[in-house]
């Protein structure tokens, strides 16, 4: 059986407003998700045995908590009669816990790959709903299209925002998503907006001020980045991003990045490549 090699790209939250909180503690959001052409890679190979064989380029992520394994187990439980042996290798590129949704993207690519390889009778909307059990960011990656999201991030309205170049900077600190969402100082009453009216100036990331207060290194990196272009936190951080019209401008800023931080330049994309890769694979096999 040939190996299916698929992308698991990152997302940016172009803005993130918190409009309320549910009784179970989860927050109601309004956010605009866009993908970037930068991310992890996953290789899937069906095997003759009925075992699951998982490896990862980062040893600390090879354990049973990896969202890739949790995605496989979820489908095995839901569709025991369809499940088959599979070997999966995760080539990790995205920083963990960076607000780029790396783990969620890996999980979504796994769900999409196994739906095809195991021939599961599931629509994309049903797969996204199932993926929500793994994390609030999984549905956007299953859907595969940039979108305005409401609810806890799972009610998706497709959008086609402009596709600038981004310089994404990781300030070298780990921000815990639960810590930010549980913090009493997090603002939770942003008025809903009309997504068609959004622009950079009438939106923000509601987590940014708190994250900068709790993690001064994020504030420092933002103060540096904003000198080059409009800049913002993605998700609950720690990554921040600046948008540029030209790739060259983003690369020139990256050249000046202080050694304490890491960064990369990527293009905004409104369609996740994994869907196209799967369509191509299905016409070949």
Ligand X SMILES: C[C@](O)(CO)[C@H](O)COP(=O)(O)OP(=O)(O)OC[C@H]1O[C@@H](n2ccc(N)nc2=O)[C@H](O)[C@@H]1O
- The annotation places the binding site for ATP at 95-105
Closest to 172 measured CA to CA, from 220, 128, 124: 220
In the complex, what is the shortest distance from the CB of residue 251 to ligand X, in angstroms, rounded to a whole number?
Answer: 27
Task: Tell me if residue 92 is catalytic.
Answer: no
Gyration radius of the chain's alpha carbons: 19
**Tokens in use for 209?**
């001020």
Q: Enter the tokens of residue 36.
A: 């970037």
Q: How far from each other are the two terminal CA atoms of the chain, in whole angstroms?
A: 10
26 binds ligand X (CB under 6 A): yes
The CB density around residue 76, as the number of other CB atoms within 10 Å, is 17
Asked if 268 interacts with ligand ATP (CB under 6 A), we say: no
CB neighbourhood size of 128 (10 A) = 21
Using CB under 6 A, which of 30, 40, 106, 137 touches ligand X? 137
DSSP letters for 36-82 = EEEEEEEEEEE-SSS-EEEEESSGGG-STT-HHHHHHHHHHHH-TTT
Considering only residues 7, 31, 34, 66, which one is a binding residue for ligand ATP as defined by CB under 6 A? 66
**Active-site residue among 40, 92, 106, 137?**
137
Phi, psi of 114 (to 5 degrees): -75, -30
Nearer to ligand ATP, 183 or 279 (CB): 183
Question: Does residue 31 belong to the site contacting ligand X (CB under 6 A)?
Answer: yes
Token pair of 142, please? Answer: 């299953």
Beta-carbon count within 10 A of 116 CB: 16
Find the residue with minimal CB distance to ligand ATP: 103
Q: Which of 127, 126, 134 is nearest to 113 (CA)?
A: 127
Q: Distance from CA of residue 66 to its chain's centroid?
A: 15
CA dist 97 and 212 (Å) reads 16
93 lies in the binding site for ligand ATP (CB under 6 A)? no
Contact range with ligand X by CB under 6 A, out of 72-80, 177-185, 225-233, 259-267: 177-185
189: contact with ligand X by CB under 6 A: no
The window from 26-34, 90-98, 143-151, 164-172 that contacts ligand ATP (CB under 6 A) reads 90-98
Six-digit token pair at 9? 């790209």
Contacting ligand X (CB under 6 A), which of 102, 135, 144, 171?
Answer: 135
Is 137 a catalytic site residue?
yes
Which residue lies nearer to ligand ATP by CB, 167 or 207?
207
**Selected binder of ligand X within 79, 118, 181, 228 (CB under 6 A):** 181
Pick between residue 34 and residue 66 the one whose CB is nearest to ligand ATP: 66
Of 234 and 249, which CB lies nearer to ligand ATP in the complex structure?
234
Which C-beta is closer to ligand X: that of 135 or that of 268?
135
**For residue 69, what are the CA distances in angstroms to 231, 268, 282?**
34, 28, 23
Residues near ligand ATP (CB under 6 A) are 61, 65-68, 96-104, 106, 137, 177, 235-236
What residues act catalytically?
Answer: 11, 137
Residues near ligand X (CB under 6 A) are 13, 16, 25-27, 29, 31, 99, 101, 104, 135-137, 152-153, 177-178, 181, 235-236
């Amino acid at each position: 059986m040939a190996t299916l090699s698929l992308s698991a790209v990152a997302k940016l939250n172009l803005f993130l407003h918190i409009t309320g909180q549910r009784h179970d503690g989860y927050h109601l959001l309004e956010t605009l998700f866009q993908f970037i052409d930068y991310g992890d890679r996953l290789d899937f190979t069906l095997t003759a045995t009925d075992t699951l064989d998982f490896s990862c380029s980062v040893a600390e992520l090879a354990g049973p908590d990896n969202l890739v394994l949790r995605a496989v187990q979820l489908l095995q439980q839901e569709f025991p009669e369809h499940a088959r042996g599979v070997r999966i290798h995760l080539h990790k590129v995205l920083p963990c816990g960076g607000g780029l949704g790396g783990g969620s993207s890996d999980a979504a690519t796994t769900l999409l790959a196994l739906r095809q390889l195991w021939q599961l009778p599931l629509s994309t909307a049903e797969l996204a709903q199932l993926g929500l059990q793994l994390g609030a960011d999984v549905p956007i990656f299953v859907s595969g299209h940039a979108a305005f999201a409401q609810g806890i991030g799972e009610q998706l309205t497709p959008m086609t925002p402009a596709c600038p170049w981004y310089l994404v900077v990781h300030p070298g600190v780990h921000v815990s998503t639960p810590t930010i969402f549980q913090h009493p100082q997090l603002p939770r009453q942003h008025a809903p907006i009309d997504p068609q009216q959004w622009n950079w100036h009438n939106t923000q990331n509601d987590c940014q001020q708190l994250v900068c207060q709790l993690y001064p290194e994020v504030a420092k990196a933002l103060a540096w980045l904003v000198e080059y272009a409009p800049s913002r936190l993605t998700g609950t951080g720690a990554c921040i991003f600046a948008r540029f019209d030209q790739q060259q401008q983003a690369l020139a800023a990256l050249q000046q990045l202080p050694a304490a931080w890491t960064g990369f330049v990527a293009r905004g994309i409104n369609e996740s490549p994994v869907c196209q890769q799967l369509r191509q694979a299905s016409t070949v096999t």
